[in-house]
Amino acid sequence: MKNVGSGWVEARNSRGNVGLVPEDYIEVKTILIISFVFDFTSLFRAYCMKLENCVGLFLSIILLLSVMVILCHMAVGSVYSFDEEWDDDSDDGKSTGGYGGSQADEGGTMQRGGAHSTMKLSLNKFPGFSKTPNPEVYLLTKHISKGDDRLPIYTGEVGPVWLYPQIQLDCVVADPKKGSKMYGLKSYIEYQITPNTTNRPVNHRYKHFDWLYERLVEKFACALPIPCLPDKQVTGRFEEEFIKMRMERLQGWMSRMCRHPVISNSDVFQLFLNYRDEKEWKLGKRKAEKDEIVGVKIFSNIDPELPELDPAQVEQKYEMYSQFTRSMDNSVKELLTVGHLHWKRCTGPLQKEYRQIGKAFQNLSSVFNTSAYPREYTLTEALTATGKTYEEIAEIVAGQPKKDLHFLMETTHEYKGLLGCFPDTIAVHKAAIDKVKEADHLVVMNKISQQDKLIMEKNLSTMSYALQAEMNHFHSNRIYDYNRLVQFYLEEQVKFYETIAEKLKKALGQYTTM
């Protein structure tokens, strides 16, 4: 690796490819040694499982190898690595879209990752853009696409809306299966995804979802907030509980993507759901990775069949959406905090306490039972039943969050992720507003023509319609989701309290009325 000046660094990735990388994108990863060893240990564990009988031999060889590798890495002082080879969730060593190459910001291409991509360039290490894509390229564009890629915006009952399909796309993520390659050295989980349109299942690994996510971010994130995938996880990836939870979250993510009229209709998303064989998948992948309508260019496809908005109206909408998404972000965070606390209370101290109440009644019953007093029986039986009832209540209380709070929390968590993407999308919008504000000055300075200024205003209006259509899509989904969610939560809560009341009534029935 060497610094070639002007903020660019020539870097080599683990596959030997050399390219220019912006200096800002690079982090010195001394910590990688540890994670490298850690992954090496996983690999070693996989080996041991396969070859239990030869443990002694392999142990020596592999330990030796790993020590050599560590020493080798330590020798160079600090390690720069774009290596993904040891990460089972990552790609299989071929192209992931040129992370080793140059990442110029021309055309406002976005590279945005969630907290889940821990072993890539720092660009992708944190949610949000590292730099807000520059909307200038688009704002000055005169030609408006009228082809297949056209994204119309209509006036619906609620204001500007995307064109929604007649039948809403949906899919089922199911049947997680463990697969392996490299002679069993690498294991992974493959999910079956069945769209309602073809009813023909396709298989995808987590890394394919990740690839899709990256394509969607590149292509749409300037106009549409693309929620992150469920977090990547290094340990416990093959545990049943984890697989179940990840599948549930992938299902949630896919359903949200399916519900979006722009995303669900895109070539890359259709490819993901409908590819017929490996060849079609590989070709489609290559095509998607070469897509040039990415970043702010996506606005060129947007075609609002609505009267142009003046910049003041645009700014007013921007302010409102910005305020709303920030407030909602705080509100869902509060709900998550409270929900988390309640969950812990139910499965922790409350369960313990109801068990103790149950035990106290049962102990009292046991003691009474030793009295040798002839009229004891009814009371001791009733007290035992009461004690057992409270023990049952303890388990009901502890099991309840999984039955109701879980869904409220999962969807709210999803919204937290989605709301975390809005600031970036809104920032592009804000940058465009600021550019248009400068336009008058630029006309006076003869930097742009009056005609250019009018085009910029028209394009800003288009961007605003896109944002409005997107916010209306968001609102509509939000209302649908929270109406359904809280309703379900309350239904389950009612059942919960009624069940307890019923159980206590039954226990009460055992006492003699005096």
Q: What residue numbers does the annotated binding site cover?
A: 205, 207, 246
Cβ closest to its own copies, residue 42 vs residue 362? 362
Contacting residue, 123, 397, 467, 507, with its own copies by CB under 8 A: 507
Helix (H, G, I), strand (E, B) or coil at 190: strand
Q: Identify which of 1, 290, 257 has the alpha carbon closest to the alpha carbon of residue 121.
A: 1
> In the stretch 428-467, what mask flags binding to its own copies with x, by CB under 8 A?
----------------------------------------
- Longest pairwise C-alpha distance within the chain: 108
Cβ closest to its own copies, residue 93 vs residue 349? 349
Cβ closest to its own copies, residue 67 vs residue 158? 158
What's the token pair of residue 142? Answer: 């005169």
User: Stretches 232-240, 299-307, 338-346, 438-446: which one binds its own copies (CB under 8 A)?
Assistant: 338-346
Contacting residue, 357, 396, 442, 455, with its own copies by CB under 8 A: 357
Please report, for residues 2, 226, 251, 327, the alpha-carbon distance to residue 417 in angstroms, rounded to integers and kept in the order given.
37, 9, 15, 14
Cβ closest to its own copies, residue 296 vs residue 466? 466
Cβ closest to its own copies, residue 364 vs residue 455? 364
Minimum gap (Å) between residue 483 Cβ and its own copies = 5
| H or E segment to which residue 136 belongs | helix 136-139
Residues 6+ apart with CB under 8 A from 418: 225, 227, 256, 474
Cβ closest to its own copies, residue 31 vs residue 341? 341
Pairing of strands 202-205, 18-22: unpaired
CA–CA separation, 57 and 54 (whole Å): 6
Counting residues that bind its own copies (by CB under 8 A) gives: 70
Q: Identify which of 172, 274, 263 has the alpha carbon closest to the alpha carbon of residue 215.
A: 263
Contact between 290 and its own copies per CB under 8 A: no
Q: Identify which of 353, 356, 350 has the alpha carbon closest to the alpha carbon of residue 387.
A: 356
Contact between 395 and its own copies per CB under 8 A: no
User: Stretches 3-11, 154-162, 306-314, 394-402: which one binds its own copies (CB under 8 A)?
Assistant: 154-162
Pairing of strands 302-304, 151-156: parallel
Pairing of strands 2-5, 8-12: antiparallel
Phi-psi sector, 34: left (phi>0), alpha (psi -120 to 50), beta: alpha
User: Stretches 161-169, 197-205, 234-242, 492-500: which one binds its own copies (CB under 8 A)?
Assistant: 492-500
Contacting residue, 16, 52, 375, 444, with its own copies by CB under 8 A: 375
Sites of contact with its own copies (CB under 8 A)? 157-159, 320, 323-324, 327-328, 330-332, 334-335, 338-339, 341-342, 345, 349-350, 353, 356-357, 359-361, 363-364, 366-368, 370-376, 378-379, 382-383, 386, 472, 475-476, 478-480, 482-484, 486-487, 490-491, 493-494, 497-498, 500-501, 504-505, 507-508, 511-514
